[in-house]
Amino acid sequence: MTKRIVNVKKLQGKCMGPLTPHTTEVFDEIKKQAAEMSVLMVDSDKYQVTGPRSQCVVNVKHKTCACRKWDLTGMPCKHAVAAIWDISRNSIDAGIPEEWVSDVYWLSTSKKVNENVIEPINGPEMWTPSQCPTTLILPKHHTQVGRPKKKRKKAFGEKELEQEFDKGGKMTKKGTTIKCGKCGNMGHNVRSCKGQGGEQSTASQESHTATQGAPVDNLYE
Protein backbone atom coordinates (compact mmCIF):
# COMPACT_ATOMS: atom_id res chain seq x y z
CA MET A 1 0.00 0.00 0.00
CA THR A 2 2.89 2.35 0.74
CA LYS A 3 4.38 1.76 -2.73
CA ARG A 4 0.99 2.19 -4.37
CA ILE A 5 0.39 5.57 -2.72
CA VAL A 6 3.86 6.78 -3.75
CA ASN A 7 3.34 5.66 -7.37
CA VAL A 8 -0.04 7.40 -7.52
CA LYS A 9 1.48 10.62 -6.22
CA LYS A 10 4.24 10.46 -8.85
CA LEU A 11 1.62 10.03 -11.57
CA GLN A 12 -0.44 12.90 -10.17
CA GLY A 13 2.61 15.17 -10.29
CA LYS A 14 2.95 14.62 -14.04
CA CYS A 15 -0.75 15.31 -14.75
CA MET A 16 -1.60 18.91 -15.64
CA GLY A 17 -5.32 18.60 -16.41
CA PRO A 18 -8.21 19.08 -14.00
CA LEU A 19 -9.08 15.36 -14.25
CA THR A 20 -7.11 12.27 -13.29
CA PRO A 21 -4.86 10.76 -15.98
CA HIS A 22 -7.12 7.80 -16.78
CA THR A 23 -10.24 9.99 -16.77
CA THR A 24 -8.52 12.42 -19.14
CA GLU A 25 -7.89 9.62 -21.66
CA VAL A 26 -11.51 8.41 -21.47
CA PHE A 27 -12.95 11.92 -21.74
CA ASP A 28 -10.74 12.80 -24.73
CA GLU A 29 -12.24 9.84 -26.59
CA ILE A 30 -15.73 11.06 -25.69
CA LYS A 31 -14.95 14.51 -27.08
CA LYS A 32 -13.78 12.96 -30.37
CA GLN A 33 -17.14 11.21 -30.71
CA ALA A 34 -19.01 14.40 -29.75
CA ALA A 35 -17.45 16.25 -32.71
CA GLU A 36 -19.61 14.10 -35.03
CA MET A 37 -22.88 15.19 -33.40
CA SER A 38 -25.33 17.85 -34.56
CA VAL A 39 -27.27 19.80 -31.92
CA LEU A 40 -30.74 21.34 -32.05
CA MET A 41 -31.50 23.79 -29.23
CA VAL A 42 -35.06 23.38 -27.95
CA ASP A 43 -34.75 25.42 -24.76
CA SER A 44 -31.98 26.88 -22.68
CA ASP A 45 -31.84 23.57 -20.79
CA LYS A 46 -33.02 21.02 -23.36
CA TYR A 47 -31.17 19.94 -26.52
CA GLN A 48 -31.79 17.36 -29.21
CA VAL A 49 -28.48 15.78 -30.20
CA THR A 50 -28.31 13.67 -33.35
CA GLY A 51 -25.43 11.44 -34.37
CA PRO A 52 -24.68 8.87 -37.06
CA ARG A 53 -26.53 6.12 -35.17
CA SER A 54 -28.39 7.79 -32.30
CA GLN A 55 -30.59 10.72 -31.35
CA CYS A 56 -30.95 11.65 -27.68
CA VAL A 57 -32.46 14.41 -25.56
CA VAL A 58 -30.04 16.15 -23.19
CA ASN A 59 -31.10 18.18 -20.16
CA VAL A 60 -28.12 20.20 -18.98
CA LYS A 61 -29.98 21.54 -15.94
CA HIS A 62 -30.57 18.11 -14.46
CA LYS A 63 -27.39 16.68 -16.03
CA THR A 64 -29.24 13.84 -17.73
CA CYS A 65 -29.21 12.23 -21.18
CA ALA A 66 -31.56 9.74 -22.79
CA CYS A 67 -28.69 7.26 -23.26
CA ARG A 68 -28.28 7.32 -19.43
CA LYS A 69 -24.47 7.25 -19.52
CA TRP A 70 -24.27 10.69 -17.91
CA ASP A 71 -26.73 9.58 -15.22
CA LEU A 72 -24.88 6.36 -14.40
CA THR A 73 -21.23 7.42 -14.60
CA GLY A 74 -21.33 11.09 -13.63
CA MET A 75 -19.29 11.86 -16.75
CA PRO A 76 -20.92 13.73 -19.68
CA CYS A 77 -21.53 11.44 -22.66
CA LYS A 78 -20.89 12.41 -26.28
CA HIS A 79 -24.39 13.87 -26.58
CA ALA A 80 -23.91 16.02 -23.48
CA VAL A 81 -20.50 17.26 -24.60
CA ALA A 82 -21.96 18.30 -27.95
CA ALA A 83 -24.75 20.16 -26.13
CA ILE A 84 -22.21 21.92 -23.86
CA TRP A 85 -20.24 23.08 -26.90
CA ASP A 86 -23.47 24.38 -28.45
CA ILE A 87 -24.18 26.38 -25.30
CA SER A 88 -20.79 28.06 -25.59
CA ARG A 89 -21.42 28.86 -29.28
CA ASN A 90 -24.63 30.65 -28.30
CA SER A 91 -22.66 33.10 -26.12
CA ILE A 92 -23.65 31.38 -22.90
CA ASP A 93 -20.88 30.85 -20.36
CA ALA A 94 -20.89 27.06 -19.90
CA GLY A 95 -17.19 26.61 -19.21
CA ILE A 96 -15.11 23.72 -20.50
CA PRO A 97 -16.72 20.25 -20.67
CA GLU A 98 -14.37 18.99 -17.93
CA GLU A 99 -16.14 21.26 -15.44
CA TRP A 100 -19.33 19.22 -15.94
CA VAL A 101 -17.62 16.00 -14.85
CA SER A 102 -18.39 14.71 -11.34
CA ASP A 103 -15.94 15.64 -8.57
CA VAL A 104 -15.07 11.95 -8.17
CA TYR A 105 -12.94 12.11 -11.34
CA TRP A 106 -11.12 15.35 -10.49
CA LEU A 107 -7.39 15.39 -9.79
CA SER A 108 -7.91 17.49 -6.67
CA THR A 109 -10.21 14.82 -5.23
CA SER A 110 -7.64 12.12 -5.95
CA LYS A 111 -4.97 14.14 -4.16
CA LYS A 112 -7.17 14.50 -1.09
CA VAL A 113 -7.71 10.73 -1.03
CA ASN A 114 -3.98 10.04 -1.11
CA GLU A 115 -2.99 12.72 1.41
CA ASN A 116 -2.77 10.19 4.22
CA VAL A 117 0.16 7.76 4.14
CA ILE A 118 1.07 4.59 6.00
CA GLU A 119 3.64 5.55 8.60
CA PRO A 120 6.95 3.60 8.56
CA ILE A 121 7.82 1.34 11.50
CA ASN A 122 11.06 0.22 13.11
CA GLY A 123 12.31 -3.37 13.17
CA PRO A 124 11.33 -5.90 15.89
CA GLU A 125 14.66 -5.44 17.68
CA MET A 126 13.58 -1.87 18.54
CA TRP A 127 10.09 -2.71 19.74
CA THR A 128 9.20 -2.13 23.38
CA PRO A 129 8.85 -5.48 25.22
CA SER A 130 5.26 -6.32 26.03
CA GLN A 131 4.12 -6.99 29.60
CA CYS A 132 1.67 -9.68 28.46
CA PRO A 133 2.67 -13.32 29.13
CA THR A 134 4.31 -14.96 26.15
CA THR A 135 3.13 -18.50 27.03
CA LEU A 136 -0.35 -19.28 25.81
CA ILE A 137 -2.31 -21.75 27.93
CA LEU A 138 -4.75 -24.06 26.23
CA PRO A 139 -8.37 -23.78 27.35
CA LYS A 140 -9.79 -26.53 29.53
CA HIS A 141 -11.31 -29.37 27.54
CA HIS A 142 -14.20 -31.36 28.96
CA THR A 143 -14.67 -34.82 27.48
CA GLN A 144 -18.31 -35.61 26.88
CA VAL A 145 -19.87 -38.79 28.24
CA GLY A 146 -20.36 -41.66 25.81
CA ARG A 147 -18.86 -42.75 22.53
CA PRO A 148 -18.09 -39.82 20.20
CA LYS A 149 -20.12 -39.60 17.01
CA LYS A 150 -18.27 -40.31 13.76
CA LYS A 151 -21.01 -39.47 11.29
CA ARG A 152 -21.57 -35.89 10.28
CA LYS A 153 -24.79 -34.04 11.02
CA LYS A 154 -27.08 -34.12 8.02
CA ALA A 155 -28.47 -30.91 6.62
CA PHE A 156 -32.11 -29.89 6.80
CA GLY A 157 -34.20 -31.91 4.36
CA GLU A 158 -31.38 -34.36 3.59
CA LYS A 159 -32.98 -37.20 5.58
CA GLU A 160 -36.26 -36.86 3.69
CA LEU A 161 -34.44 -37.10 0.36
CA GLU A 162 -32.63 -40.28 1.42
CA GLN A 163 -35.91 -41.91 2.50
CA GLU A 164 -37.44 -41.36 -0.93
CA PHE A 165 -34.73 -43.46 -2.68
CA ASP A 166 -33.40 -46.94 -1.96
CA LYS A 167 -29.79 -48.11 -2.25
CA GLY A 168 -30.24 -48.77 -5.97
CA GLY A 169 -31.28 -45.19 -6.59
CA LYS A 170 -34.94 -46.04 -7.23
CA MET A 171 -37.79 -44.19 -5.57
CA THR A 172 -39.47 -46.07 -2.72
CA LYS A 173 -43.20 -46.45 -2.18
CA LYS A 174 -43.00 -45.00 1.30
CA GLY A 175 -45.88 -42.65 1.99
CA THR A 176 -48.11 -44.11 -0.74
CA THR A 177 -51.31 -46.05 0.05
CA ILE A 178 -51.48 -49.53 -1.46
CA LYS A 179 -54.66 -51.31 -2.59
CA CYS A 180 -55.44 -54.97 -1.90
CA GLY A 181 -56.00 -57.03 -5.04
CA LYS A 182 -58.19 -59.53 -3.16
CA CYS A 183 -60.78 -57.45 -1.34
CA GLY A 184 -60.19 -54.14 -3.10
CA ASN A 185 -59.66 -52.15 0.13
CA MET A 186 -56.86 -49.68 0.79
CA GLY A 187 -54.12 -49.98 3.37
CA HIS A 188 -52.91 -53.58 2.88
CA ASN A 189 -51.96 -56.08 0.17
CA VAL A 190 -52.96 -59.66 -0.71
CA ARG A 191 -50.40 -61.25 1.60
CA SER A 192 -51.62 -59.40 4.69
CA CYS A 193 -55.31 -59.57 3.73
CA LYS A 194 -57.44 -61.07 6.49
CA GLY A 195 -60.82 -60.01 5.21
CA GLN A 196 -60.50 -56.42 6.41
CA GLY A 197 -63.49 -54.42 5.31
CA GLY A 198 -65.35 -57.45 4.03
CA GLU A 199 -68.69 -55.71 4.38
CA GLN A 200 -67.46 -52.80 2.28
CA SER A 201 -66.12 -55.12 -0.44
CA THR A 202 -69.37 -57.19 -0.44
CA ALA A 203 -71.49 -54.08 -0.67
CA SER A 204 -69.36 -52.70 -3.48
CA GLN A 205 -69.59 -55.98 -5.38
CA GLU A 206 -73.39 -56.13 -4.95
CA SER A 207 -73.80 -52.55 -6.12
CA HIS A 208 -71.57 -53.29 -9.11
CA THR A 209 -73.61 -56.42 -9.97
CA ALA A 210 -76.92 -54.59 -9.58
CA THR A 211 -75.72 -51.83 -11.81
CA GLN A 212 -74.71 -54.26 -14.54
CA GLY A 213 -78.00 -56.26 -14.35
CA ALA A 214 -80.35 -53.24 -14.15
CA PRO A 215 -82.27 -52.14 -17.26
CA VAL A 216 -80.97 -49.14 -19.11
CA ASP A 217 -84.16 -47.18 -18.47
CA ASN A 218 -83.84 -47.59 -14.67
CA LEU A 219 -80.38 -46.09 -14.65
CA TYR A 220 -81.75 -42.65 -15.53
CA GLU A 221 -84.66 -42.63 -13.09
Q: 167 lies in a domain?
A: no
Does the residue 161 lie in any domain?
A: no
Residues 94 and 187 in one domain: no
> Is 20 in the same domain as 105?
yes
Domain ends where: 113, 143, 162? 113
Q: What is the pLDDT of residues 121-170, one digit of tens each?
A: 999 999 988 887 777 788 888 888 999 888 888 888 776 666 666 666 67
User: What sign results for the dihedral spanned by CA atoms 62, 58, 42, 35?
Assistant: positive
Task: Quick: pLDDT tens for 67-84.
Answer: 999 999 999 999 999 999
Asked, for residue 67, whether it belongs to a domain, the answer is yes
Q: Which residues contact 190 (CB under 8 A, 6 or more apart)?
A: 180, 181, 182
Contact indicator for 10, 3 with CB cutoff of 8 Å? no
Distance between CA atoms of residues 192 and 206, nearest Å: 24
* Enclosing domain of residue 105: 2-113
8 and 102 housed in the same domain: yes
Residues belonging to the chain: 221
CA distances from 187 to 112, 150, 179, 191 (A): 80, 39, 6, 12
Q: Are 184 and 204 in contact (CB under 8 A)?
A: yes
Residues 6 or more apart whose CB falls under 8 angstroms from that of 55 comprise: 48, 49
3-state secondary structure 98-154: HHHCCHHHEHHHHHHHCCCCCCCCCCHHHCCCCCCCCCCCCCCCCCCCCCCCCCCCC
Query: Is residue 25 situated within a structural domain?
Result: yes
- pLDDT class for 208, splitting at 50, 70, 90? very low
In the chain, how many domains are there?
2
Given a cut of 90, whether residue 56 has pLDDT beyond it is yes
CA distances from 80 to 14, 47, 103, 112, 119 (A): 29, 9, 17, 28, 44
Using the predicted structure, report yes or no on whether residue 221 has a pLDDT greater than 50: no
Residue 19 · residue 101 · CB < 8 Å:
yes
pTM here is: 0.53
Shared-domain flag, residues 100 and 186: no
SS3 48: strand
User: What does the pLDDT look like over 2-44, one tens digit per residue?
Assistant: 898 899 888 888 888 899 888 999 999 999 999 999 999 988 8
Whether 7 and 99 map to the same domain: the answer is yes
Q: Is 194 a residue whose pLDDT tops 90? A: no
The residue-averaged pLDDT of 181-189 equals: 84
